[in-house]
Structures are given as C-alpha cells and as structure tokens.
Amino acid sequence: NVGSLEKIRSAAVLITDGGHNQEGSPLQTAKLLSARNLPVFTVGLGSDQRPLDFAILRTSTPDSVYQKDRIRGVLSYKDHLIPGTPYSISIEDEHGTRVWNQSFVGMEKGQGQFSFDFAAEKIVERELQGIPESEKEALRTIPLNFKVLVDPIEGEAETANNHWSFSIDANMRKNQLLILDSRPRWETRYLNNLFERDDRWEVSCVWGEPRDTQKRLSRGDEKNLFPKKKEDLLKFDLILFGEIDEDEFTLTEQSWIFDFVTQRGGGILFLDGPRQKLRLYNNPNSQPISPLLPVAWNQKGPVRLSPTSFHRPEESNRISALILDPIKERNEAVWKHLPVPAWTAPVQALPGAEVFLEVSVENGKENQSEEVRVPVIVGKKVGAGKSFYLGFDESWRWRYEVADLYHQRFWNQLSSWVMEKPFALNHEGFFVDAGGGFHAANKAIPIRVRLRDKNGKIPKPPYPEVDALVWNKEEVVATIPLQGQESTNGLFSGQVYGLEAGSYDLSIRAPALIDEMEFSEKRLPFKIKDAPNQEKSFLTCDEDLLVEIADASGGGFFREENFHELKEVLRPISSGRIIISELNLWQSFGWLGVVVFLLGLEMLLRKRAGML
C-alpha cells in the first residue's frame, strides 16, 4: 500500500535483490529518509525460489592463541542442498597444507553452524622455518592465515561462495600473571583456577605459608614463589596484589614492583579484602608501592560498608571490561541482578584516577536514609603502566547458577584492560607493534613503538624524530611520523591509513636513538585484507527486507514483473508543468503609461541639470 504522494516532492527508487555487504541495517537508513519526507520504492530483482547451493557465510575464531594450543572456531554456512547430498569441507594453511577436513551430508535446513578444532604447533613450526634463531626470540606473535574450502558439489548453482579465509595471531609466549595474597581467599582461589584453565595465561600464585604464623610469602626462582631477582619479576605482564601486610616486602622489593608498573609498563590490580590491609600503604617514603594506589581511605566512619546495588558511571567513563553481554539492554539487566558483595571499603578516588564502577550504600543520618555511592573499581595510569583497585573480593559469587558465564568474562576482560598489550616484536631497547598481524582494508592501523637510546636510557622531551616505515617488498610505501607520549617510558605512537590489500613490513627509523644499520632489517610483517564479498552468498531475492525498507520509509515494494506499475505511482511527483508567458508592454496601457512617465521624468531632470 502506497500512501498519498501529494505533499512529496521527491522519492528514491531502489532496484536490488536485497543483498547488502556493509555493516549495519538498511532499515535505519530507510527510517532516516522517512524523517526527511523521502520515501523509498523498492523493486525486487531475481527469483524467490531457492536454487541448489551451499555457501560459507563466516567464521568465528579468537584473535590469538598460544603456539602450542589448539585453534578452535565456529563456521556458519547456508545449506540449500537436496537432503542426502554429500560434501566435504577442509581448512588449509597459507602453504596449502590441509590442517582439518570433515565430510557432511546436505540437510536443506537453511543456515547452520559447526565447530572445528586443530593443533597450532606444527603450523607455527612451518611458519618459523627459515627465520634465524635470533629473530625467532624477538617475535612475540606469528600471523597465521587459513582458507576454508568446499569440495565441488554436483549441480550447485554457484561455486564462488564455496571458500572463506580467516586469520589468527599465534602467541609465542603466554601472558604471565603473578597472584600475591597473604592467604588463599575464596576470590584468589577461584582466580588461580580460572586463569590456570585458560590457555592464554600462565599463572604463578604465591600465598602466605600456612605453617608460618606470620603467613610470610615464600621467595625463590621457581613457579609459585615470589621472584628473588628484579629481572624475573619484570617478565610478568600483570600482578594481582591481594591483602599483603605492609612489612611483607622489603624496600627493594617494593621498588621492583613500582618499577614494574612505571618503567616496564606492566599492570597491577589491587584486590582489597575485609581485613583492610591495603589501607596501611600510606607512606610513599617508606612504602614505594603506596603511590601506585588510585584510591585513599576515609579515616572517619566505619571500616567496612554494606553495598545495596551496583552503579556504572556515564557512557564516557565506561570500559569494555564491564560489558558482560553484547546487547546493551541485557548487559544493564545483568548488572542489576549480579550478587552484590557483603562489604566494601570506604574509599574515594584520588585526583587523576577514573571511577569505572560504584556501589550504593545506605548512610543513616538524623533519622533519614541517604544513598551514598562508593567507588569499587578505580584505575589510573602510572608512568608506563596502569594501576587498578578492586574494592571487594566476592566476584566468585557471580558464578551462582551460571558458572563461568559472567565471572570468567569479567576477569579476562579486566585483566586484558589493565595489562599492557604485548608488543609483537621485542628486541633489547626496541619494541614494535602494529595492532595485530592482519587488518581490514580502509581501516586505521595503530602503531606502537617503545625505544631506548644507545645507552639504554629513556628518551625525554623534546622527543627526537621517530618515523615508522611501511615496506611493500623492498619499497617504502609510507612514512609515518610517530609522536612521543609523556610519562610512558619511551612510548611513541601513530596511525597509518589507506594501504591497499597485500603484505607489508614495518620498520622504525630513529637516528638519534638507535643504530639504523643494526635495526634496519628488524621488520614486523603484517597484512591488509579486503573485506569478504558476500554478494553471492544468497542467490534469491530478499523480498521481506525490501518490504520492510519500503514500509519504514513510506514507500512501496514492487516485483520485477510489476515494474511498470511504479510509473503510475510516481506520476504525482513527475507530472509537474513549467508555464512560460510573454507580455508585450505596448499591449498594456497601464505598464505603457508607467514607462512613458519615467522616461519623461528623466528628460526633465537632465534638462534642469544642464545635461541636455
């Protein structure tokens, strides 16, 4: 049904089969056009009868895996085959070696999914062949590229949709986590088990010795012992600092932890407890750890408070770590129903720190109940790293009835946020990262570089000139000036745009800091990939979508065979006429009199002025 077009001055005509390749829904565009009084008339091309066809729609895989773990993913497909039609799907690496294969039977069930699983170790070994040992030690990640292929199916209408490619970065080293706590609390027990089960993490958990009356932490060079050497401590990526007595660590050990955050760029997460031992770290002179804390304790009032509900600050101050469900409305509902901790510490954020999560507490005051909000997740940047504070230790209760669903997601996301993202290429005094081994075309590529000068010192303002060079084979195709970041331990950053699909290498040029001859060959490979073309994934006309677009914009839908009817519908818009009329002045006595009067007046004025 097409509404009245009497007040419409223009309209859009869309001739299509209903397929769209870009992100987002065309319905939103249709609604915007409707608000501008511009209806869309859709004309559907193609048949609504499904031909015999099989198509790979997409793959879902993690961004990275550990080199000795297994690559697991989910493949989405479209099955419009005759029931009982046999077909086979395989996955090959970049060298054409088949790494996974499985046979299936057509079910004509429309869209579906299946999982795949194969080992990464041998694939990584093939990628490392030919790379010198010295270069292997510098690589933190290896990009892996795969192709999904469907063997030819007899009678299939379209074969161009029978392949897909995906990419994963293989981590040469697991993320290193150090858990420190004076006793095995429920929270740190669960966290130790959680990260131990995760293939991406390697955990060293140090608890106070039960047989020691003072619950002292054991030192040593082995796992689950606090490191005896600073260089061993600096190998970690994240420290989870629990309820530790203020005299547990020596001044030297505390300075190691301080340097771990401010110089090495590591992350530290303070996990408070009901015994309130963290509040005793309040003297920067005798406790180098204390400046890392992003909160201060209120000295007046109760030592512990009883929360009633969680509150997340405004959108501008939220972090992705707190997204427990990708759908916004469901995420809000999850936070409303999560078990609230039995206690929280009376803290306030220090200047320069950001509050990411709060709880409400009831504060009785002169026979009136007043709601007060207390921060429970607070973070700040300290030098090159980040420091976060968590004001409760009962997130393990979030496992009730849902197991790891929210608990594991929260801690994985929070840990990745606090720790510094690893650099893909690591040399002494020279660290480079390009945000991953694979990037989509027409997207910005972030570049991070951490440098030291020839004496191993951190560059200071005014920062020297540092450029990132992008190579295509042996030709420099882009030069990107990098900007020094203050208080980041020698970090320089920038972005590169506009690279076409292909293979590239990234190198750094900084004459004032590094030996160009020594580091000119230290290159980080990465690839630019075109967005997959899903034009031929669906071979029928999506009439339902076209009808929705037309209805949302106030237009109408027409099938291909009824295209001629559109002309009549649009006639009110296109049937306007332009009328041109001419009027001779001498045929109108009124206009003729006005003209004669003006000419006579001009002659009179000229005569008086002596111009005649």
Domain ranges of the chain: 12-49+540-574, 53-171, 175-297+348-358+374-418, 425-529
pLDDT at 524: 87
Find out whether 136 and 128 touch, Cβ atoms under 8 Å.
yes
Peptide bond just before 462 cis, omega within 30 deg: yes
Find out whether 301 and 294 touch, Cβ atoms under 8 Å.
no
pLDDT at 597 over 80: yes
Phi-psi region of 442 (alpha: psi -120 to 50; beta: other; left: phi over 0): left
Summarised one tens digit per residue, pLDDT across range 297-317 is 998 888 889 999 999 887 656
What are the residues whose beta carbons fall under 8 Å from the beta carbon of 362, sequence distance 6 or more? 306, 308, 369, 370, 371, 372
The size of the chain, in residues, is 612
pLDDT at 520: 63
**E strand spans, 435-523:** 438-440, 445-451, 467-472, 475-481, 483-484, 491-496, 502-509
What are the residues whose beta carbons fall under 8 Å from the beta carbon of 537, sequence distance 6 or more? 19, 55, 57, 78, 161
Q: What is the C-alpha separation between 404 and 400, in angstroms, rounded?
A: 9
**E strand spans, 253-402:** 267-271, 295-297, 307-311, 347-349, 354-365, 368-382, 385-390
Q: What is the C-alpha separation between 234 and 231, in angstroms, rounded?
A: 5
Question: Where is average pLDDT lowest: 94-103, 206-215, 472-481?
Answer: 206-215
At residue 213 the predicted structure's pLDDT band, cuts being 50, 70 and 90, is low
Looking at the DSSP bridge assignments, the partners of residue 204 are: 178
pLDDT at 429: 72
pLDDT at 350 over 90: yes
**Mean pLDDT, rounded, of the chain:** 85
Question: Where is average pLDDT lowest: 22-36, 117-131, 219-233?
Answer: 22-36
- Asked if 12-49+540-574 and 175-297+348-358+374-418 have one fold, the answer is yes
pLDDT at 369: 61
Q: What is the C-alpha separation between 256 and 264, in angstroms, rounded?
A: 10
What are the residues whose beta carbons fall under 8 Å from the beta carbon of 514, sequence distance 6 or more? 429, 430, 451, 453, 454, 508
Tell me which fold the domain 425-529 belongs to: Immunoglobulin-like (2.60.40)
Tell me what the mean pLDDT of segment 460-469 comes to: 88
pLDDT at 488: 64
| CATH number corresponding to 53-171 | 2.60.40.1520
pLDDT at 9: 74
pLDDT at 212: 58
pLDDT at 397 over 90: yes
Summarised one tens digit per residue, pLDDT across range 246-296 is 999 999 999 999 999 988 889 999 999 999 899 999 888 889 999 999 999
pLDDT at 1 over 60: no
pLDDT at 189 over 60: yes
Q: Which residue has the higher pLDDT, 515 or 65?
A: 65
At residue 232 the predicted structure's pLDDT band, cuts being 50, 70 and 90, is very high
At residue 242 the predicted structure's pLDDT band, cuts being 50, 70 and 90, is very high
Percent of the chain residues topping a pLDDT of 90: 36
pLDDT at 111 over 90: no
Q: How many CB atoms are located within 10 Å of the residue 447 CB?
A: 21
pLDDT at 106: 85
pLDDT at 478: 92
pLDDT at 517: 61
pLDDT at 143: 87
Burial (CB count within 10 angstroms: exposed 0-12, middle 13-18, buried 19+), residue 157: middle
Looking at the DSSP bridge assignments, the partners of residue 526 are: 504
Question: Where is average pLDDT lowest: 193-197, 219-223, 455-459?
Answer: 455-459
Architecture of domain 175-297+348-358+374-418: 3-Layer(aba) Sandwich (3.40)
The CATH superfamily of 12-49+540-574 is: von Willebrand factor, type A domain (3.40.50.410)
Q: What is the C-alpha separation between 419 and 440, in angstroms, rounded?
A: 25
What are the residues whose beta carbons fall under 8 Å from the beta carbon of 510, sequence distance 6 or more? 451, 464, 465, 466, 467
pTM over cut 0.85: no
